[in-house]
Amino acid sequence: MADTEAYHEYQRIEDADEDSPPGEEDFLVHVPEGLTDSWHHIKNLDNFFTRIYHFHQKNGFACMMLSEFFELVQFLFVVTFTTFLFNCVEYDVLFANRAVNHTGQSVSPLDRNKVTLPDALLSSQQCTQRIQDNTWIICLLIMAAIFWIYRLCKVIYNVLSYWEIRQFYIKALKISMDELCSLSWQEVQQRLISLQREQQMCIHKKELTELDIYHRILRFKNYTVAMVNKSLLPVRLHLPFLGDTIFFTQGLKYNFELILFWGPGSLFQNKWNLHPKYKRTGNRLELARQLSRVILLTGVANLLLCPFVLVWQVLYAFFSYAEVIKREPGSLGARRWSLYGRLYLRHFNELDHELQGRLSRGYKPAAKYMNSFVSPLLTVLAKNMAFFSGSVLAVLIALTVYDEDVLTVQHILTSITVLGLVITISRSFIPDEHMVWCPEQLLQYVLAHIHYMPDHWRGNANKNETRDEMAQLFQYKAVFILEELLSPIITPFILIFLLRSKSLEIIDFFRNFTVEVVGVGDICSFAQMDIRRHGNPQWMSEGQTEASVYQQAENGKTELSLMHFTIKNPHWQPPQDSSVFISHLREKVQQDAQAGPSAQLLLSEAPLCSSILSSESNTGPDNLLASVLAHPVLTASGLPGWNRRFIPPSTTATAAASILASLSASQLPHTPYSSSHVVLPSSHPQQTSTYLSELTAVNSDPRMFCQTNPAVVSEFASAEMSLHAIYMHEVHQQSSQTQPTAGHFQHAVPMRDLRSHIVSGCKTQFTRVPALSVPAPLQLGGWAEEEEDDDEEEMNSIPARNQDTSGS
């Protein structure tokens, strides 16, 4: 790395709020009576705050311990049941390859050769003897027993630890278990901050801030997000016939964390401090060699354990997915956000539930976009395959209805099952001829929720290359299962041959981008969201940042993360440099809003805009985004507005700025943009005046609105961040056109020529389309998957393309 010399020293900085003067770590603290002493001067605040967060997210002590208990039972069941199937079943008898003769006076002649289930089971003595004679089975059982005992000890430790957290919630935070599920994390966090003023959980600071708590919960996660952002982790592979492929699994992620953060030989000496030797530049080469040896040993250990891990993966996948795949074969065609996608799209200082909520809102538009691509050749094959399979299946069903003895014919049930599977899979490739193909608008809608997108996707949403790159973030469930099954085999080679070669870069990264914050410890400097040190001039921080190319976060992650954290935590006081950036952004929004349409006009067009984007939701935030994204299409088309007046053309940036400016005009104190003063877009144009009057009522008593409508406030806070993401990406595109930068991305194609964009972006613009159903990501069990929307119907439709219209 040639640019490391400009930023090579480990740094120690004061907290952003400057509430920890020198010598404060030695002051005496008065502990109020009645509070448990164990909650004063907590040594490991990282674990403490993390457990408080998990306790809230997992709905309390009873739910957590019940889940832990069933995990132990589930592991024991898989091992026991698998051993039983391999050693205690006589399969020759079960498959009728060996005759069974039942004798006795009570047995009829017709039943003497009939196979029963007990006939196929061996006695306990025979079963035990088979297990004892198989050395391989004994070895696996010993390893399974050791792992189960380890898990049991961990569960016992968690029971004791989380019981203490339960007491903390009840006695210190004054939150009962019945009340826990109805409180948001922000409310729990505010009680933590208030408690710090009364009882010093952290003695190095008089007061905690929201950012301090996030830093402790997400210390290692922020490092991982930064390394993915800087393309430091070797997860991109170039494979023959497949090209560039992202391979990032749970096993590979576990090994990365083991090597870098908490394993033996890791870079951290405890949960909150980087080892001092990694903070100095003099011995970087020797440290890189040491890290290379640790990676090599870890890779060899993975190679030795590969057979055992692979057997477990296969068994667990079979027990978890087999029944669901048989019942709903289309579940393998459902999509999920990949593990790499979750890190690529994650903001700095974004908690798990915040990320999950954002990606869940983006699931439907992302699925819509991915299913808008269709292969005409594959469609023809699928239609004919469905026809032939359906014909044969119809005959078999008719014969079965006529005479049920047909089911006794060998392989009839198997044939019916396979034919049904083929029909289901074939229909998933047949598009719905009534759907509208709007790739550019759909991709913009996806961006509104996921907040990050490579520059070269703009203007190329209709190309297969863009879809393939999107598929790396939004993968098939079947691909996820296959990657996890292959992970025990591929992970050792990635560690040994790819990660080792990056040892020196990793050492430089942790030295260059680690800072010490008083009262928090060592954190990733990117997590400070410091515009001056890590801002990008092309993301509205020109003149405010001193960062070199090496120091800049990619894809505007510093700027977008700052806005996201500010909106999610409205009581947080950003440091001076961040406040300057937010003020500059607000001024830019106000300027662009003057050239854009009014907020009332945008909201009045919400129903038509939702129709253009095929949006199923009638909620206010979704209609708000639809009106912003589709308004440039309406104005470019030359159609009159709802009041029969012609509207001058506008851009997405000015439309977003108009809504954001209306929010800024009615903001709460101490918040950059209020999320509680958004006008709810109506489902009908005549109801617009009703919501405009509600805006006046909200402005008259905003605090009362926040208290009585926390769910609505949360939804509109997410919509507000979506508008910021759209607006900042549009402004970035304008900056990229005037100041092109070198890089591996293609030159961004501007989306400013609205009259040509109307033709290329959406091929049947104003057809009222039926509601679009999206395949729901099924909860299949197995590996720990993030929850996604599970109440959507399966979509078998893919938009048909108009062959006579040219592509974008």
Judge if 468 and 533 occupy the same domain: no
pLDDT tens for each residue of 444-499: 989 999 999 999 998 899 999 999 999 999 999 989 999 999 999 999 999 999 99
Q: Are 469 and 454 in contact (CB under 8 A)?
A: yes
- Please check whether residues 55 and 192 belong to one and the same domain: yes
Q: Which tokens hold the place of 138? A: 């004994």
- Lowest-confidence region among 130-144, 585-599, 707-721: 707-721
Higher-confidence position of 108 and 176 = 176
Question: Mean pLDDT score of the chain, rounded to an integer?
Answer: 78
Kindly give the interhelix angle for 61-87 and 45-57, rounded to the nearest 10 degrees. 80
More confidently predicted of 380 and 693: 380
Give the model's confidence band at 716: pLDDT under 50 very low, under 70 low, under 90 confident, else very high: confident
In a domain, 285, yes or no: no
- Specify whether 630 is located in the same domain as 722: yes
What distance, in Å, lies between the first and last C-alpha atoms of the chain? Answer: 39
Res 17 pLDDT > 80: no
Model confidence over 224-282: pLDDT tens digits?
A: 999 999 999 999 998 888 888 999 999 999 999 999 999 988 999 988 899 999 998 88
Query: How far is Cα 67 from Cα 264, in angstroms, rounded to an integer?
Result: 29
Among 349, 362, 342, which residue's Cα sits nearest to residue 569?
349
428 part of a folded domain? yes
pLDDT at residue 457 in the model: 93
Position 544 scores a pLDDT of 85
Query: What is the spatial distance between Cα 444 and Cα 729, in angstroms, rounded to a whole number?
Result: 10
> Percent of the chain having pLDDT more than 90?
44
Q: Is the pLDDT of residue 113 over 80?
A: no
Adjacent-strand bridge partners of 640? 646
Residue 365 and residue 469 share a domain: yes
Residue that finishes a domain, picked among 159, 184, 208: 208
Q: Return d(Cα 11, Cα 530) in angstroms, integer.
A: 14
Q: What is the DSSP letter of 432?
A: B
Per-residue b or e along 731-759, where b marks 16 or more CB atoms closer than 10 Å to that residue's CB: bbbebbeeeeeeeeeeebbebbebeebbe
Query: Is 750 or 138 the better-scoring residue by pLDDT?
Result: 138
Query: Once rounded to an integer, what is the mean pLDDT over residues 302-311?
Result: 92
Enter the tokens of residue 32.
Answer: 């109020």
Instruction: Tell me which of 208, 225, 253 is where a domain ends.
Output: 208
Element of type H or E holding 699: helix 688-700
35 sits in the region (left: phi over 0; alpha: psi -120 to 50; else beta) called beta
Q: How many domains in the chain? A: 3
The DSSP letter of residue 121 is B
Strand 514-517 to strand 474-476: parallel, antiparallel, or no bridges (unpaired)? unpaired
What is d(CA 807, CA 762) in angstroms, rounded to the nearest whole number? Answer: 9
CA 699 to chain CA mean position, Å: 34
Least confident of 66-80, 312-326, 389-403, 568-582: 312-326
Does residue 746 carry a pLDDT above 50?
Answer: no
Domain-embedded: residue 455:
yes
Is the CB of residue 616 less than 8 Å from the CB of residue 793?
A: no
Check residue 739 and give its pLDDT. Answer: 58
445/467 Cα distance (integer angstroms):
15
| Greatest mean pLDDT among 499-503, 703-707, 761-765 | 499-503
Residue 70 and residue 135 in one domain: yes
Q: Which amino acid is at 364?
A: K
What is d(CA 642, CA 231) in angstroms, rounded to the nearest whole number? 48
Asked if residue 734 has pLDDT above 90, the reply is no
Judge whether 469 lies within some domain. Answer: yes
* Region 208-230 average pLDDT: 95
Residue 19 has pLDDT above 60, yes or no: no
Answer whether 0.85 is exceeded by the pTM. Answer: no
The pLDDT value given to residue 117 = 80
Residues 469 and 352 in one domain: yes
Three-class secondary structure of residue 514 per DSSP: strand
Domain match, 575 and 723 both: yes
- The residues that bridge with 517 in the sheet, in sequence order, are 13, 521
Is the pLDDT score of 632 beyond 50? yes
Q: What is the pLDDT of residue 631?
A: 62
Together in a domain, 45 and 150: yes
Pair (720, 583) in one structural domain = yes
Does 441 fall in a domain? yes
Q: What is the mean pLDDT of residues 327-348?
A: 88
What is the sign, positive or negative, of the torsion defined by CA atoms of 173, 174, 176, 179?
A: negative
Tell me, yes or no, whether 49 and 198 share the same domain. yes
The two tokens of residue 424 are 């289901």
Q: State mean pLDDT over 629-647.
A: 54
- Note whether 456 and 592 are same-domain residues: no
701 pLDDT band, cuts 50/70/90, is very low
Retrieve residue 253's tokens: 């992620």
Taking the C-alpha atoms of residue 28 and residue 42, their distance in angstroms, rounded to an integer, is: 15
Element (H, E) at 301: helix 284-327
Domain-located, residue 384: yes
Residue 738 in this model has a pLDDT that exceeds 80: no
- Up-side HSE of residue 283: CA atoms within 13 Å toward CB? 10
Is the domain of 88 the same as that of 186?
A: yes
CA–CA separation, 582 and 589 (whole Å):
10
Q: 199: domain range?
A: 39-99+116-208
**H helices of 702-803, where?**
702-708, 710-738, 754-761
More confident residue, 745 or 536: 536
**363 inside domain:** yes
Determine the Cα–Cα distance for residues 66 and 396; give it in Å rounded to an integer: 46
**Per-residue confidence band for 803, with pLDDT thresholds at 50, 70 and 90:** very low
User: For 549-572, what is the mean pLDDT?
Assistant: 93
Question: What confidence score (pLDDT) does residue 357 get?
Answer: 92
- Cα–Cα distance, 269 to 267 (Å, whole number): 7
User: What distance lies between CA 377 and its chain's CA centroid?
Assistant: 34
Residue 27 has pLDDT above 90, yes or no: no
Q: Which of 452, 475, 498 is the last residue of a domain?
A: 475
Residue 276 lies in a domain: no
Q: How many CB atoms lie within 10 A of CB 503?
A: 21
DSSP string spanning 90-111? -HHHHTTSS-----STTS-GGG
